[in-house]
Amino acid sequence: MLTAPDWALGSRYLRENAPELIPFIEKYGPCNLQPEAPEKYFGTLVTGIISQQLPPDVSLAMVKRLEETVGTPITPEAIASAAESDLCSCGIMPQKVMYLKGFAEAVLNGEVTMDKFAGMTDSEITKQLIKIKGLGQWTAEMFLLLALCRTDIAPTADFIFQKRVKEIFNLNAMPKRKQILELTEHWRPWRSLAVWYLWQEK
């Protein structure tokens, strides 16, 4: 089982190097993010594929029906062997069913090596994932940050994160990827923790 990073160490680092984050750190206290168990990785990424461009309650209902159909945790073997009609009956669009089937095959044939993620770099994992149809940059970054608890992820495509960066740096417009990375350079190597704090603000 993977252990969580020393988030307390990260908080101290951000206090010393990113004063703009101190109000968030003091308001929300210690970070409680814990890495997921490896057997859940595939299901988490399947959820990412299903949930794209859908309201959270709709996608969660689909994932629940999918789990009832193929079992929990969702495995590549179960998705690969399931009939397309059974997957569609969960409310999943045919195109996304194709994406799920393709992802399952990629894991089974070794294109995506989830069993080796622990020893891989962030960029190596991202490259594997974004080659899969239905898995984009946003999903890969969410997975790295929330499931693997990698410490230095800046999900530049995330709207809430973009909005918070705009607010704390008093920008006139929503920042793009390059600007976000430049503005948050001094948060490294704890950008994931900074993002977590910014996400807590409703």
What is the predicted pLDDT for the residue at 132? 96
Domains of the chain, with CATH numbers?
7-34+152-200 (1.10.1670.40), 38-147 (1.10.340.30)
User: pTM for this one?
Assistant: 0.93
| Whole-number average pLDDT of the chain | 96
CB 148 within 8 A of CB 161: no
What is the predicted pLDDT for the residue at 1? 61
How confident is the model over 26-43, as a mean pLDDT? 96
Residue 136 CB contacts under 8 Å (≥ 6 apart), including other chains: 52, 130, 157
How confident is the model over 3-17, as a mean pLDDT? 97
- Omega before residue 73 within 30° of 0, cis: yes
How confident is the model over 69-97, as a mean pLDDT? 97
Amino acid at 202: K
Angle at 9 between CA 16 and CA 18, to 5 degrees: 25
From CA 194, how far away is CA 78, in angstroms rounded? Answer: 37
Q: Is the pLDDT confidence value at 83 over 80?
A: yes
How confident is the model over 92-101, as a mean pLDDT? 97
From CA 164, how far away is CA 51, in angstroms rounded? Answer: 23
CB atoms within 10 A of CB 128: 20
CB atoms within 10 A of CB 198: 19
Q: Sorting pLDDT into bands at 50, 70 and 90, what band is 53?
A: confident
Burial of 195 (0-12, 13-18, 19+ CB in 10 A): buried
Q: Is the pLDDT confidence value at 91 over 70?
A: yes
CB under 8 A, 24+ apart: contacts of 172-179: none
How confident is the model over 162-190, as a mean pLDDT? 97
User: Given CA atoms 178, 180, 186, 189 in this order, what sign does their dihedral have?
Assistant: negative
CB 155 within 8 A of CB 161: yes
End-to-end, the C-alpha distance of the chain in Å comes to: 32
What is the predicted pLDDT for the residue at 52? 87
Burial annotation 46-65 (CB, 10 A radius, 16+ → b, else e) = bbbbbbeeeeeeebeebbee
Q: Sorting pLDDT into bands at 50, 70 and 90, what band is 62?
A: very high
